[in-house]
């Protein structure tokens, strides 16, 4: 495992740009494919957006910590936050034909994360602490 880079943000959507810049800076040190880098940036953005929106209901007083490192052939992003349990792996992707037919809104962040990342791990601990891990094979 190489050096771990870390950033902590307050739980506000205005800080998403800081998260994206953090991931982009680190990803560019390890990866050259702009498309892959964008997929990782978008996935981390979607994960943080969901936490801010659904876990914290846009309450900006919480802290989200993001760690990033490369381990063997994997680019790993870990997101640590407190709050209720929510495992994105347990959320089924929407039927997009029905989605468009019924003009649905929202619920597309997790499908994007699942399409773009090779692995998503989620752990919820007894102290209401959450660890979401996004892995891209490189």
Chain positions contacting another protein, by CB under 8 A: 12-14, 16-17, 20, 34-35, 38, 41-42, 45-46, 49, 52-53, 96-97, 99-100, 103-106, 108-109, 111-112, 115
Closest CA to 69 of 25, 138, 136, 3: 3
Which residue do the tokens 């490192």 mark?
A: 69
* Beta carbon of residue 45, minimum distance to another protein (angstroms, whole number): 5
* Beta carbon of residue 94, minimum distance to another protein (angstroms, whole number): 9
According to DSSP, the residues that pair with 67 across neighbouring strands are: 6, 78
CB-nearer residue toward another protein: 17 or 123: 17
* Beta carbon of residue 137, minimum distance to another protein (angstroms, whole number): 19
CB-nearer residue toward another protein: 105 or 126: 105
Closest CA to 46 of 101, 100, 102, 115: 115
Helix, strand, or coil here: 99? helix
CB-nearer residue toward another protein: 17 or 63: 17
CB-nearer residue toward another protein: 120 or 124: 120
CB-nearer residue toward another protein: 70 or 116: 116
Q: Cβ distance 46 to 1 under 8 Å?
A: no
* Beta carbon of residue 9, minimum distance to another protein (angstroms, whole number): 12
Give 84's DSSP letter: S
Q: Which two tokens stand for residue 99?
A: 């989605």
Distances (CA, A) of 130 to 10, 96, 125: 16, 29, 6
* Beta carbon of residue 19, minimum distance to another protein (angstroms, whole number): 10
């Amino acid at each position: 495992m190489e050096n771990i880079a870390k950033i902590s943000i307050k739980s506000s959507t205005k800080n998403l740009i800081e998260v994206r810049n953090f991931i982009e800076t680190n990803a560019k040190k390890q990866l050259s494919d702009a498309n892959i880098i964008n997929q990782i940036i978008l996935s981390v953005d979607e994960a943080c957006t969901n936490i801010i929106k659904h876990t914290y209901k846009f309450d900006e007083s919480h802290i989200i910590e993001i760690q990033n490192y490369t381990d063997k052939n994997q680019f790993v992003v870990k997101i640590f936050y407190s709050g209720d349990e929510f495992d994105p792996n347990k959320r089924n992707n929407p039927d997009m034909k029905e989605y468009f037919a019924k003009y649905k809104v929202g619920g597309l962040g997790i499908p994007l994360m699942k399409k773009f990342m090779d692995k998503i791990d989620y752990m919820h601990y007894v102290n209401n602490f959450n660890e979401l891990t996004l892995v891209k094979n490189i």
